[in-house]
């Protein structure tokens, strides 16, 4: 019920206040009624919930998170290799 | 970044395993076991689906919370939907989750089999088309959901008013999350040490609604995304809070949640809704200030007002073997239920926790816990 789907904005109909979204290959329309005028642009990533865009996904934060995970993985790999090296 | 990154990368197996290793290492420094309540049924499903419990050390436990808006609706209110659907010239409309929830006389699916016009929709806006195409019928929208879903009902009402639609009405069962979290903590027998907070609720309301839990209740909170990497990162953040003696509100789901939330959505909720003094939650009883209803000036759209003589208020008890109430309170798991997987299954549910896509029982059943 509270599940919401990350989607990409591919078209905006300002008159109808509706955006067309790409949700992993499926195109859907979503209402912009909960977003401020002009806040959503083509190419934005948004959260879709029961036919409405409820928020934008902050691309910078998403990329920062993914970058952090990559760094954590590398640190973990180095520590594990060091331990294996010391054990041999 | 492309769309696939937002799915796949937050489900990456290597990242999940790395967080598991970090949690295993950090948890050795915990002074005692910790019990984390994941409030939202969506989080319960992620934990079950990806087997996250098996990746965690024995001193970290989950308590499943009542964050399933279909599960917590008391039977007497589901009976309202059933009764309304059987009225002459009524089309009862609700979101798909409601279809099989059993009530005193049966589910809405049963009502439909008995001749009721019951329709399940993807979006509240679908009600508009139904109302326009059926001018001689009364369209009643049985509205359910937490803060995530409430603004969409408000937009629907706004459109009904603007388009002067005379045959669309509302039965409001919207509820809010922080009050019930407080009620659970006020119970002296509770074992909750920390919360994984519902995040799509927070997209609308902002993380600010959870401030009270570290400040007044001394319980750390992490607002977590729904993907398995999000949940593991959030657990890691909570464990670090415990070992560092911190008690804070943190946001893991930074790509979607901030402190203030969607202010436009909050304003539209405030325009059309007011808080009920009490709302009954299945298994928990009355929770003060946790339910919403339409403001008095919109009562001509409020079917509880229009049909108040038809809709009974007497409490209806659950099936005597159904322990959904205890499961929603976090004091039992589905495995302790005598009828789980036997007479209560997704195809023949006895309790709402087995029906709803966010119910703990449906998660346990689906991901093979029998």
B68 neighbors B330 (Cβ within 8 angstroms): no
Query: Based on the domain organization, do A3 and A29 belong to the same domain?
Result: yes
Answer yes or no: is pLDDT of A88 > 60.
no
Percentage of chain B modeled with pLDDT above 70: 99
The secondary structure of chain B, three-state, reads CCHHHHHHHHHCHHHHHHHHHHHHHHHCCCCCCEEEEEEEHHHHHHHHHCCHHHHCCCCEEEEEEEECCCCCCCHHHHHHHHHHHCCCCEEEEEEHHHCCCCCCCCCHHHHHHCCCEEEEECCCCHHHHHHHHCCCCEEEEEEEECCCCHHHHHHHHHHHHHCCCCCEEEEEEEECCHHHHHHHHHCCCCCCCEEEECHHHHHHHCHHHHCHHHHCCCCCEEECCCCHHHHHHHHHHHHHHHHCCCCCEEECCCCCCCCCCCHHHHHHHHHHEEECCEEEECCCEEEECCEEEECHHHHHHEHHHHCCCCCCCCCCCCCCCCCHHHHHHCCCCHHHCCCECCCEECCECCCHHHHCCCCHHHHHHHCCCC
> How much is the average pLDDT of B339-343?
92
Cβ-Cβ contacts under 8 Å, B5 against chain A? 62, 66
CA nearest B334: which of B358, B356, B364, B366?
B364
CA atoms within 13 A on the CB side of A31: 19
Task: Show the domain range for A75.
Answer: 58-88
Answer yes or no: is pLDDT of B370 > 60.
no
Cα–Cα distance measured from residue B259 to residue B237, given in angstroms and rounded to the nearest whole number: 17
Query: Based on the domain organization, do A53 and A79 belong to the same domain?
Result: no
Residue B100: per-residue pLDDT:
83
The tens digit of pLDDT for each residue in A41-85 reads: 999 999 999 999 999 999 999 999 999 999 999 998 888 888 776
Give the nearest partner residue to B262 out of A55, A57, A64, using CB atoms: A55
Query: Based on the domain organization, do B150 and B172 belong to the same domain?
Result: yes
The CATH number of residue B189's host domain is: 3.40.50.11750
- Residue of chain A minimizing CA distance to B9: A66
Residue B260: per-residue pLDDT:
98
Is the CB of residue B348 less than 8 Å away from at least one CB of chain A? no
Query: Based on the domain organization, do B155 and B267 belong to the same domain?
Result: yes
What ipTM did this prediction achieve? 0.93
At B206, the pLDDT band (50, 70, 90 cuts) reads very high
The tens digit of pLDDT for each residue in B260-272 reads: 999 999 999 999 9
At A3, the pLDDT band (50, 70, 90 cuts) reads confident
Task: Show the domain range for B145.
Answer: 75-176+261-306
pTM recorded for the entire structure:
0.93
Query: Based on the domain organization, do A67 and A77 belong to the same domain?
Result: yes
Query: Based on the domain organization, do B33 and B159 belong to the same domain?
Result: no
Query: Based on the domain organization, do A50 and A83 belong to the same domain?
Result: no
Query: Based on the domain organization, do B207 and B285 belong to the same domain?
Result: no
The tens digit of pLDDT for each residue in B170-188 reads: 999 999 999 999 999 999 8
Query: Based on the domain organization, do A26 and A44 belong to the same domain?
Result: yes
Query: Based on the domain organization, do B137 and B102 belong to the same domain?
Result: yes
Is the CB of residue B68 less than 8 Å away from at least one CB of chain A? yes
Query: Based on the domain organization, do B128 and B165 belong to the same domain?
Result: yes
Query: Based on the domain organization, do B111 and B214 belong to the same domain?
Result: no
Within the 42-81 window of chain A, which residues sit less than 8 Å (CB to CB) from chain B? 45, 47, 49-52, 54-55, 57-59, 61-66, 69, 72-73, 76
B123 located within any domain: yes
Query: Based on the domain organization, do A63 and A33 belong to the same domain?
Result: no
Is the CB of residue B85 less than 8 Å away from at least one CB of chain A? no
Query: Based on the domain organization, do A53 and A64 belong to the same domain?
Result: no
Domain count, chain A: 2
Shortest distance between the Cα of A53 and any Cα of chain B, in A, equals 10
Question: B78-105 burial, b for 16+ CB within 10 Å, e for fewer?
Answer: bbbbbbbbeeeebbbbbbebbbbbbbee
* Residue labelled with tokens 């989950």: B62
Query: Based on the domain organization, do A1 and A38 belong to the same domain?
Result: yes
Query: Based on the domain organization, do A67 and A43 belong to the same domain?
Result: no
Residue contact A69–B15, C-beta within 8 A: yes
The CATH number of residue B285's host domain is: 3.40.50.11740
Is the CB of residue B14 less than 8 Å away from at least one CB of chain A? yes
Within the 24-43 window of chain A, which residues sit less than 8 Å (CB to CB) from chain B? 24, 31, 33-36
The CATH number of residue A28's host domain is: 2.30.30.140
Query: Based on the domain organization, do B118 and B215 belong to the same domain?
Result: no
The tens digit of pLDDT for each residue in A16-46 reads: 999 999 998 899 999 999 999 999 999 999 9
């Amino acid at each position: 019920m509270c599940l919401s789907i990350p989607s990409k904005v591919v078209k905006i109909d300002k008159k109808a206040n509706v955006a067309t979204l790409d949700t992993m290959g499926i195109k859907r329309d979503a209402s912009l009624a909960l977003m401020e005028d002009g806040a959503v642009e083509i190419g934005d990533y948004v959260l879709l919930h029961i036919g409405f865009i409820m928020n934008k996904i902050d691309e910078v934060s998403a990329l920062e998170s993914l970058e952090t995970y990559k760094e954590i993985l590398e640190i973990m790999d180095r520590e594990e290799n060091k331990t294996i090296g010391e054990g041999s | 970044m492309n769309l696939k990154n937002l799915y796949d990368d937050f489900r990456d197996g290597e990242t999940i395993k790395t967080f598991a290793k970090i949690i295993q290492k950090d948890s050795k420094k915990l002074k005692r076991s910790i019990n984390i309540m994941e409030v939202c049924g969506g989080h319960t499903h992620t934990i079950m689906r990806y087997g996250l419990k098996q990746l965690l050390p024995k001193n970290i436990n989950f308590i499943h919370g009542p964050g399933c808006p279909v599960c917590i609706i008391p039977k007497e209110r589901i009976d309202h939907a059933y009764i309304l659907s059987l009225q002459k010239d009524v089309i009862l409309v609700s979101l798909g989750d409601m279809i099989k929830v059993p009530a005193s006389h049966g589910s809405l699916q049963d009502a439909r089999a008995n001749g009721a016009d019951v329709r399940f929709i993807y979006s509240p806006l679908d009600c508009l088309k139904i109302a326009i195409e059926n001018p001689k019928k009364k369209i009643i929208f049985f509205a359910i959901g937490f803060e995530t879903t409430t603004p969409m009902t408000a937009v629907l009402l706004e459109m009904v008013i603007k388009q002067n639609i005379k045959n669309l009405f509302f039965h409001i069962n919207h509820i809010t999350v922080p009050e019930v979290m407080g009620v659970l903590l006020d119970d002296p027998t509770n074992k909750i040490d920390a919360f994984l907070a519902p995040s799509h609720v927070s997209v609308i309301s902002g993380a600010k609604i959870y401030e009270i839990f570290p400040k007044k209740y001394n319980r750390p909170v992490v607002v977590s995304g729904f993907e398995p990497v999000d949940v593991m990162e959030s657990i890691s953040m909570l464990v670090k809070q415990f070992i560092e003696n911190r008690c804070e509100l943190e946001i893991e789901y930074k790509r979607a949640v901030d402190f203030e939330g969607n202010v436009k959505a909050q304003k539209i909720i405030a325009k059309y809704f007011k808080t009920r003094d009490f709302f009954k939650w299945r298994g928990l009883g009355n929770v003060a200030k946790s339910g919403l209803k339409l403001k008095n000036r919109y009562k001509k759209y409020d079917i509880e007002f229009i049909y108040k003589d038809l809709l009974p208020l007497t409490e209806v008890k659950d099936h005597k073997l159904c322990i959904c109430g205890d499961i929603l309170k976090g004091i039992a798991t589905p495995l302790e239920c005598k009828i789980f997987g036997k007479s209560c299954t997704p195809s023949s549910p006895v309790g709402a926790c087995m029906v709803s896509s966010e119910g703990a029982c449906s998660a346990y059943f689906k991901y093979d816990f029998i």
